[in-house]
Amino acid sequence: MNNFEELQNKWQNQSGMSATDNGFEALLKSVKSIENKQKTGNIVLTITILILLSFLIYVSGYNSNTFLLGIGLMVGSLVVRIAIELYSLKKLRSINFSKDSNTFKSDLTNYYSFRKYTHYLITPLALVTYAIGFVILLPQFKATLSHGFYLYILFSAIVFLLIFCVFIYKQIKNELSKLKQLQVQD
Amino acid sequence: MASKENTYKNIYKENYAKVMRLCMGYTVGDEALAKDLAQETFIKVWQNLDGFRNESGIGTWIYRICVNTCLAEIRKQRKKDRNLSLDNIQVSDSDENPNEKEDMLVQLYSCIDKLSSINKAIILLELEGLPQLEISEIMGIKHEAIRTRVHRIKQQLTKCVNNE
């Protein structure tokens, strides 16, 4: 027969839980690595934006409205999706883990509710817009590229879109499951 | 930076064991997973250390970060039968790791695992011996409500561990 005090005593005297110097060194390494990754991420993002801007300036010289519409829809949908993803990341990072659990849980629920809106509205819209842009460009690709390269672009785009859809589906499923569990009454 | 690192090292050394115990409670005694969660907790401690204003004690502050990290990260580990009443549960430790854990502790982990995430946090803090007022501050639940909950969960947990 174990009463609660015995359980408590056993709990507090669990072995193998002490801090070690090696453990701290490994932790410090992780902390520094995360800080470096954030810096690298910002550099990569800046370069991507510069490349996209240069590309848009470059293609704006084309006289074909169809081409500009197609490329505009594709790049535009990507930019909107990336912007929303970055905003989400900022929102997630701003959640304060040192608040009391009740407030934290409510903040986390709000975040995942916002993500639900993104997943059900923005993501499908961005995907459809991207696909429409690509379809608009197809006749131009067919007219200007070799048959082999045209087929390569066509099939690689389909494969990319399928892989992307699976990736997004998994992310949506994971986040919606988190939201569902957060909303379970305790 | 060196001063921040020294403060951080002291915080780590003084709080690692209690953070690790709490994480072990959340992971049903899975040491590898608990170490990951403890690491995640201390990474957040580092990231928020500059903003710590000593309004609550450092211990309370770390417990908050730890409980919230576990709440945010462990949800996918939850099992379907988590909401069952403890009174109806027979505990078996046959599939746990008997070489390293004493039977009672293994049973305790299993019984804690049957609780909802918030009740789990409350009882883990109670097992740590924290005053209920501090638990109330960590959880953001009124002191009176914590007192009632702790009383109920304690009874359920003791029954469950004793296979009653």
Q: What is the pLDDT of residue B110?
A: 92
Mean confidence (pLDDT) of chain B: 83
- For B153, how many CA atoms within 13 A lie in the half-sphere containing its CB? 25
| Chain A residues within 8 A of B121 when measuring between CB atoms | 101
Same domain, A54 and A141: no
Same domain, A47 and A83: no
Length of chain B: 164
Residue B91 pLDDT greater than 50, yes or no: no
Positive or negative CA dihedral for B133, B56, B34, B84? positive
Mean pLDDT of A55-77: 83
Token pair recorded at residue A24: 């701290």
Task: Return d(Cα A138, Cα B157) in angstroms, integer.
Answer: 65
| Chain B residues within 8 A of A100 when measuring between CB atoms | 64, 137-140
Residue A62 pLDDT greater than 80, yes or no: no
- A184 in a domain, yes or no? yes
How many domains does chain A divide into? 2
Question: Which of B64, B105, B137 to mutate to test binding with chain A, by most A CBs within 10 Å of its CB?
Answer: B64
What pLDDT band is residue B88 in, cutting at 50, 70 and 90? very low
Report all structural domains of chain B as residue ranges with CATH numbers, in order of start. Answer: 1-77 (1.10.1740.10), 81-164 (1.10.10)
Measure CA A33 to chain center.
20
Neighbours of B151 (CB within 10 A): 12
pLDDT tens-digit map of A73-124: 988 898 888 889 889 989 988 999 999 999 999 999 999 999 988 888 998 9
Mean pLDDT of B107-121: 91
Closest approach of A156 to chain B, Cα-based (Å) = 34
Neighbours of B159 (CB within 10 A): 14
Between B72 and B79, name the one with better pLDDT. Answer: B72
- A22 in a domain, yes or no? no
Same domain, A52 and A115: no
Are B16 and A17 inside 8 Å of each other by CB?
yes
Closest residue to B17, CB basis, from A17, A24, A177:
A17
Same domain, A87 and A173: yes
Q: What is the pLDDT of residue B75?
A: 53
Same domain, A50 and A117: no
Per the structure, the complete domain to which residue A42 belongs is given by: 27-61
What pLDDT band is residue A168 in, cutting at 50, 70 and 90? confident
What pLDDT band is residue B100 in, cutting at 50, 70 and 90? very low
Report which of B122, B128, B92 is spatially closest to residue B109, judged by C-alpha positions.
B92
Q: What is the pLDDT of residue B85?
A: 38
Residue A27 pLDDT greater than 90, yes or no: yes
Closest residue to A101, CB basis, from B44, B48, B140:
B140
| Chain B residues within 8 A of A111 when measuring between CB atoms | none
Same domain, A56 and A142: no
What pLDDT band is residue A3 in, cutting at 50, 70 and 90? confident
Task: Return d(Cα A19, Cα A28) in angstroms, integer.
Answer: 13
Same domain, A126 and A84: yes
